[in-house]
Amino acid sequence: MPNPKPDVCVEDTSIADLQQALSDGKTTAATLVKAYLARIAAYDRAGPGLNSVREVNPAAASLAAASDAARFAKGKRPPLQGIPILLKDNIATADEMHTTAGSLALADAFAKRDATVAARLRKAGAIVLGKANLTEFANILAVGMPSGYSSLGGQVRNAYAPEVDAKGVPIVPPGGSSAGSGVAVAAGLAAAAIGTETSGSLLSPASQSGLVTVKPTVGLISRAGIIPIAASQDTAGPMTRTVQDAALLLNAMIGPDPLDPATSAAPKPVDYLKSLDRDGLRGARIGVPSDPNDPGNDVYWRTLSPKGRVVMEEVITALQDAGAVIVRENIPTSGWIGGPGTDMAILNTNPESPDRNKVARLPIVFVYELKHDMNAYLKDWARGTAIQSLGDIVNFNFTHGDKALRFGQDIFLAAQNTRGDLKELEYIAARQNDLRASRSQGLDTYMDENRLDAVLFPGTAGAAIAAKAGYPSVQVPAGFIAEVNGRETPPFPLGATFTGRAWSEATLLRIAYAFEQATQFRRPPPGLPGLQEGCR
């Protein structure tokens, strides 16, 4: 086996470049694992204390050694061989790592088998380096829980601006709920990570951490073995530094799975790398749902801060310069998300919320599907724990309230009070209303009438309409802002999100890749230099 010198500077190296370095004998999987673990020790456990990695895989070194041995054996190499990645800690792995969703109630929980996503990544040769911290239960436990906080894992900090307030809450949020996945990749603690989204949980941390992500069409990637919120909207997706890397991971994760009926509707898998085209914006029609002549219906862009608006106008200029056609038109009013028939009142009992003891509005679909889907996961996937139902989690939290209930569990209480069979009329009507508003009278109408290839949203502004429709989005770094709620902060990223019709990932990746190559807006976070001599 060749001497792996010079070492690769892992802190900001793409998967594609790591693959080349491995093939050229400039490094080994063992060297990469060692380098990422050193960065976790220096920046996640010490230094700024990013706290993005909840658990390191104790078998990572042995997996890397086996990967290196296989590399010099005869036969075809799998596409991700030797690439260390992190999984969000709601993705089941049948190994020595726990699968906890960040909950003290599941601190001792393991999984009976790998989630389909984990199994496919392993088959593709990836090394699971560890589990990433997250907003507890993917931010469905309590109203007003800070993004990136879990009772088991603690608080994730933004790699670009890690400062926290007097209560330990980040001044610049890391984005949620896949906060740890995003921060870890931004900080160079792994080559890439896998997160999950129900509504915004990939797009939000990707935007806050200056990453590329793909929130796929529901059913493109199996959800089997992922601790759920709502099966009608849940999905996993890659979090990477480049669009090419996102396509590489997407290729490894897609495909039908008998354990997830939603995958049966997906088209035949394609190679998303073939859709990447530097000239992919020429002639593309992109909708900007912000019409200055109709300000009352400008629901997706009007909340932008002045600095955010400057960034997004630069995005639009870059798209036009690359040959795209911009269509400024609001999405029809009936495409608005939320409101009567789709959300429900929940009493906010969060002790640290300024709106404590006031009514919050939560999506009906989330609350009703949560009990049904969580109970199924605990029955079919969890092992090593006495927790067998949502009710068990609620009771555990009450018993250990001093540690488990810093922010309460008001959403879990509401979910526990449903029947859990998804037959209540309120749930059925809400799901129908969501689909009508997001699909037929929302994105479908908007894209058809304007003959669009994609819709451009700032950051996470369009997350809900795409998530309720089950439609895909691809986000790319777009620039930097330096303000939170009117308070000046260190610069941190803002992403541009391209959303499309069902199964349009290839089109969105083509557009995103061309935008990325034309702009190169991404910059790694400051203050996290390479640990090897000669690295930045």
Give the CATH number of the domain where residue 91 resides: 3.90.1300.10
Q: Is the confidence at residue 3, as pLDDT, over 70?
A: no
* pLDDT in the model for residue 179: 98
Asked about 177 being catalytic, the answer comes back as yes
- Of 206, 197, 253, the C-alpha closest to 471 is 197
Mean pLDDT, residues 73-100 taken together: 94
CB 152 within 8 A of CB 135: no
Would the CA dihedral through 465, 257, 261, 101 be positive or negative? negative
Convert the pLDDT of each residue in 329-386 to its tens digit.
Answer: 999 876 678 878 899 999 999 999 999 999 999 999 999 999 999 999 999 999 999 9
CB 87 within 8 A of CB 195: no
CB 64 within 8 A of CB 127: yes
Residue of 201, 222, 232, 438 with catalytic role: 201
Where does the pLDDT of residue 534 fall: very low under 50, low under 70, confident under 90, or very high at 90 and above?
A: confident
- Of 479, 205, 438, the C-alpha closest to 339 is 438
Q: Is the confidence at residue 115, as pLDDT, over 60?
A: yes
Of 307-311, 334-338, 521-525, the poorest mean pLDDT is in: 334-338
- Any domain includes 373: no
Mean pLDDT, residues 205-234 taken together: 98
- Residue 360 forms beta bridges with which residues? 346
Q: How far is 429 from 255, CA to CA, in rounded Å? A: 31
Where does the pLDDT of residue 533 fall: very low under 50, low under 70, confident under 90, or very high at 90 and above?
A: confident
* Residues listed for the chain: 536
Mean pLDDT, residues 3-13 taken together: 74
Of 140-144, 334-338, 406-410, the poorest mean pLDDT is in: 334-338
Mean pLDDT, residues 52-68 taken together: 98
- Residue 276 forms beta bridges with which residues? none
Q: Is the confidence at residue 5, as pLDDT, over 80?
A: no
For 15-78, what is the HEC assignment?
HHHHHHHHHCCCCCHHHHHHHHHHHHHHHHHCCCCCCCEEEECCCHHHHHHHHHHHHCCCCCCC
Q: Which element (helix H / strand E) includes 310?
A: helix 306-321
What values do phi and psi take at 487, rounded to 5?
-100, 130
* pLDDT in the model for residue 164: 97
- Any domain includes 458: no
β-strands 487-499, 192-197 pairing: unpaired
What values do phi and psi take at 127, rounded to 5?
-100, 120
Transcribe 319-384 into DSSP letters. HHHTTPEEEE-PPPGGG---STTTEEEEE---TT-TTTTSEEEEEHHHHHHHHHHHHHHHHHTEES
> Position of tokens 């998804």?
422
- Count of domains for the chain: 1
- Any domain includes 88: yes
Which residues contact residue 148 at a Cβ distance below 8 angstroms, ignoring those fewer than 6 apart?
A: 133, 134, 135, 155, 156, 157, 170, 173, 174, 175, 176, 177, 179, 180, 183
Q: Is the confidence at residue 270, as pLDDT, over 50?
A: yes
Q: Is the confidence at residue 247, as pLDDT, over 80?
A: yes
Q: How far is 33 from 412, CA to CA, in rounded Å? A: 38
Q: Is the confidence at residue 112, as pLDDT, over 50?
A: yes
Residue of 52, 147, 150, 177 with catalytic role: 177
Which residues contact residue 117 at a Cβ distance below 8 angstroms, ignoring those fewer than 6 apart?
A: 87, 91, 194, 221, 222, 225, 226, 236, 253
- Any domain includes 134: yes
Asked about 504 being catalytic, the answer comes back as no
Q: How far is 436 from 445, CA to CA, in rounded Å? A: 10
Q: Is the confidence at residue 6, as pLDDT, over 50?
A: no
In the sheet with 53-56, reading across from the earlier edge strand, the strands are 53-56, 127-132, 84-88, 192-197, 235-240, 212-215, 473-484, 487-499, 454-458, 285-288, 325-328
CB 200 within 8 A of CB 235: no
β-strands 285-288, 325-328 pairing: parallel
Q: Is the confidence at residue 2, as pLDDT, over 50?
A: no
Structure tokens at 234: 């849940």
Q: Is the confidence at residue 288, as pLDDT, over 60?
A: yes
CB 92 within 8 A of CB 118: yes
Where does the pLDDT of residue 76 fall: very low under 50, low under 70, confident under 90, or very high at 90 and above?
A: confident
- Any domain includes 457: no
- Any domain includes 32: yes
Of 74-83, 209-218, 266-275, 395-404, the poorest mean pLDDT is in: 74-83
Q: Summarize the chain as % helix, strand, coil (round to 5).
A: 35, 15, 45
Give residue 14's domain range: 10-275
Q: How far is 43 from 525, CA to CA, in rounded Å? A: 12
**Cα-trace Rg, the chain:** 22
Q: Indicate the average pLDDT of the chain.
A: 95
- Any domain includes 255: yes
β-strands 149-150, 154-155 pairing: antiparallel
For 85-113, what is the HEC assignment?
EEEECCECCCCCCCCCCCCHHHCCCEECC
CB 218 within 8 A of CB 254: no
* pLDDT in the model for residue 334: 66
Convert the pLDDT of each residue in 439-463 to its tens digit.
Answer: 999 999 999 999 999 999 999 999 9
Asked about 88 being catalytic, the answer comes back as yes
Q: Is the confidence at residue 192, as pLDDT, over 60?
A: yes
- Any domain includes 3: no
